[in-house]
Amino acid sequence: MPVRQTAAACRSRETRTRFEDPAQMPEYSTGTTRETYVYGRAPRNVYWEVTVACDLACRHCRAEAVAERDPDELSTEQGRSLIDDVKTMGSLLVITGGDPMKRPDLFELMAYARSVGQPVAITPSTTPTLTREAVRKFAELGVVTMGVSLDGPSAAVHDAFRGVEGTYAVSQRALAWAREAEIPVQVNTTVCRQTLPHVRELMELLRGQAPPVIRWSLFILIPTGRGSMLESLTASELEELFSWVLAMSHDAPFHMSTVEAPHYRRYWIQSKLRTGMPWTAVREASKRMGFGMRDGNGVIFVARNGDVFPAGFLPYPLLGNVKRDQLSVLYRTSPALLGLRDMDLLTGKCGRCEFRWLCGGSRARAYATSGNVLGPEPMCVYQPGEAVQEPLL
């Protein structure tokens, strides 16, 4: 479980200063701009867990995947209906699992999506089910991005984390096959106590893999599923990681992002203000960068059996089921989702924070650690009304 620190302990490692004009900050949460950070009509990304079956035994797996498919998975026809509904919203459909390759009708569903003009991304597991022929088929079907999981710079680190020997070798072959097929790749890395020491070395490895790597997403551990057995970073350690990500992103040959750590946006804004960037420029940049996206706001998750949740790492509340409900209707009208998008309902320091509408904290982490989906983000050092004067190195 994540280690919580007191506000005093977090502040002891940093030099802080009050904003000269604190009245500027709440402009982000006024009625004139908050709508910019609410994705009320449609999510940018719809994540569909097509199956829970997977041959890996990853230590962090939120799905707690097993070897066999769930007989209650969406049928092919139900999958087609879901694709049609996602198409009406104009969202990207991200096919995930488990291992999507364990689903016999995967290519049929992907072909249907292409036939109706629905953009698709896919995150297959790095097992023998992923072959050169499969990657070539992804290319033929117009996959916009393929996700490849890589949690360490060597087989010793990665395979131990994934629970099966040989997965590192498959991931390296997958990157080579994607390069051949000219498929852009997003590399996904889980960051926790076990993987943090290897992040810098992994960065150097990935520098030589661009292309096909166009994005490196650092998934900050949420203690759910099997991940509840792993150790999270402290809030101060995560702040140091933010500093490193910002520094590396200036000359990285791919885009770097954090997942389930929306408070990186707060860190980014503070760093830009320190360089003298005007508030107006910061606000415009934040809109282009998708600030405000978080669990249930800009993303939505459909489980293997059709259950709908705010996000894959946030299995609460259950919003409905696509076997009987339209996803588009649930996304736009669910009272629970509407409440989850109202940052004025947050409690604790998140509810007082000037950055709440463009950050909002990880609702998944708040729920996993406290049982309160509207509770404070436990891995944020920031105290409302204060600013870090110097970045942590």
Say which CATH number the domain at 85 has.
3.20.20.70
**Residues 51 and 102: beta-carbon distance below 8 Å:** yes
**Residues 5 and 263: beta-carbon distance below 8 Å:** no
Tell me the mean pLDDT in the region 27-43.
70
Q: Please tell me the predicted confidence (pLDDT) of residue 26.
A: 33
pTM of the model: 0.88
Tell me the mean pLDDT in the region 147-161.
94
Give 25's pLDDT tier (boundaries 50, 70, 90). Answer: very low
Higher pLDDT, 6 or 39: 39
| pLDDT at 393 > cutoff 70 | no
Q: Is residue 374 part of a domain?
A: no
Tokens 């309902």, residue?
345
Q: Is residue 256 part of a domain?
A: yes
Q: Please tell me the predicted confidence (pLDDT) of residue 57.
A: 60
Give 330's pLDDT tier (boundaries 50, 70, 90). Answer: very high
Q: Is residue 93 part of a domain?
A: yes
Beta strand pairing status for 299-302 and 386-388? unpaired
Q: Is residue 30 part of a domain?
A: no
How far apart, in whole angstroms, are the C-alpha atoms of residue 191 and residue 217? 10
Q: Please tell me the predicted confidence (pLDDT) of residue 64.
A: 53
Q: Is residue 128 part of a domain?
A: yes
| pLDDT at 3 > cutoff 90 | no
Task: Verify cis geometry, omega within 30 degrees of 0, for the bond prior to 212.
Answer: yes
Tell me the mean pLDDT in the region 148-169.
93
Q: Please tell me the predicted confidence (pLDDT) of residue 390.
A: 33
**pLDDT over 70 percentage in the chain:** 86
Q: What is the per-residue pLDDT across 65-107, written as a single tens digit (0 to 9) for each?
A: 566 788 999 999 999 999 999 999 999 999 999 999 999 999 9
Phi, psi of 96 (to 5 degrees): -140, -175
Q: Is residue 52 part of a domain?
A: yes
**Residues 41 and 337: beta-carbon distance below 8 Å:** no
Q: Is residue 153 part of a domain?
A: yes
Q: Is the backbone of residue 49 left (phi > 0), alpha (psi -120 to 50) or beta?
A: beta
How many folded domains does the chain comprise?
A: 1
How far apart, in whole angstroms, are the C-alpha atoms of residue 216 and residue 380? 22
Q: Please tell me the predicted confidence (pLDDT) of residue 223.
A: 86
DSSP state of 184: -
Give 226's pLDDT tier (boundaries 50, 70, 90). Answer: low
Q: What is the per-residue pLDDT across 204-217, written as a single tens digit (0 to 9) for each?
A: 999 999 999 999 99
Q: What token pair was written down for 289?
A: 């960068």
Q: What token pair was written down for 242?
A: 């933010």
Q: Is residue 5 part of a domain?
A: no
Q: Could you list the residue range(s) of the whole structural domain that residue 264 is in?
A: 42-336
